[in-house]
Amino acid sequence: MGHLVATEVRALVGLLDELDYYQLLEIDSTAQGSQVKQAYYSASRRYHPDANRDLEGEISGHVHTISKRITEAYQVLRDPRRRRAYDAMRDEGGAARIQLVDAVARADKQARDQHEGTTPNGRRFFSLAKHDIERGDKDAAIRNVKMAMTFEPKNAHFKAKLAELRGA
């Protein structure tokens, strides 16, 4: 395996944004889970900052960047759901790399929007309805959910909450 040299690190960090996760881990896109894991461990050992303590300054920072990207690639490719989403995006000619943090933030926002609302007024009235429910005021809760639905008529969560309140 040998130690990394500065020119190798500089070259890889320069290409990092152009490589997809498969290229980074040096595997085929049809690689099975065990192959992904093996490739990750191999790349991780090679580029881990602790294994390259002798590198200094800018090169040490590059090794950290590469190591993070390798971990990110593994986290996406080992999870079947994330991998399918990644492959679909890659097949459509989209960016070859998804920022894991961005993907998690988008998923959290979508879930929050679905449950809390996507518009300021939808969120405000739905929040009022939740407070009404906590106080035991079902009629006020129904009015506020209806108001929220005037701003977000297609919000499935609002519809379900209204049906639940009417049925209770």
Higher pLDDT, 115 or 131: 131
Residues 136 and 63 occupy one common structural domain = no
pLDDT per residue as tens digits for the range 125-147:
999 999 999 999 999 999 999 99
Q: What is the full DSSP assignment across 63-118? A: HHHHHHHHHHHHHHHTSHHHHHHHHHHHHTT--S---HHHHHHHHHHHHHHHHH-S
Asked, for residue 103, whether it belongs to a domain, the answer is no
The residue type found at 46 is: R
Residues 122 and 56 occupy one common structural domain = no
Instruction: Examine the fold and report which residue of 97, 131, 156 is the final residue of a domain before the chain moves on.
Output: 97
Distance CA 121, CA 163 (A): 20
Dig out the tokens for 59 from the structure.
């090169």
pLDDT per residue as tens digits for the range 4-38:
678 888 888 888 888 889 999 999 999 999 999 99
Residues 85 and 145 occupy one common structural domain = no
Asked, for residue 1, whether it belongs to a domain, the answer is no
Residues 92 and 138 occupy one common structural domain = no
The Cβ of residue 103 has, within 10 Å, a number of other Cβ atoms equal to: 17
CATH number at residue 86: 1.10.287.110
pLDDT per residue as tens digits for the range 63-100:
999 999 999 999 999 988 888 888 888 877 765 555 55
Asked, for residue 50, whether it belongs to a domain, the answer is yes
Residues 93 and 22 occupy one common structural domain = yes
Number of domains in the chain: 2
Residues 53 and 78 occupy one common structural domain = yes
Looking at beta carbons, which pairs linking 52-60 to residues 24 or more positions away fall under 8 Å? 52/3, 52/4, 54/3, 55/4, 55/6, 55/9, 59/6, 59/9, 59/10
The pLDDT of residue 95 is 58
Determine the structural domain holding residue 116 and report its residue range.
112-167
Asked, for residue 107, whether it belongs to a domain, the answer is no
Residues 57 and 82 occupy one common structural domain = yes
Asked, for residue 121, whether it belongs to a domain, the answer is yes
Asked, for residue 105, whether it belongs to a domain, the answer is no
Residues 116 and 92 occupy one common structural domain = no
Instruction: Examine the fold and report which residue of 46, 69, 97 is the final residue of a domain before the chain moves on.
Output: 97
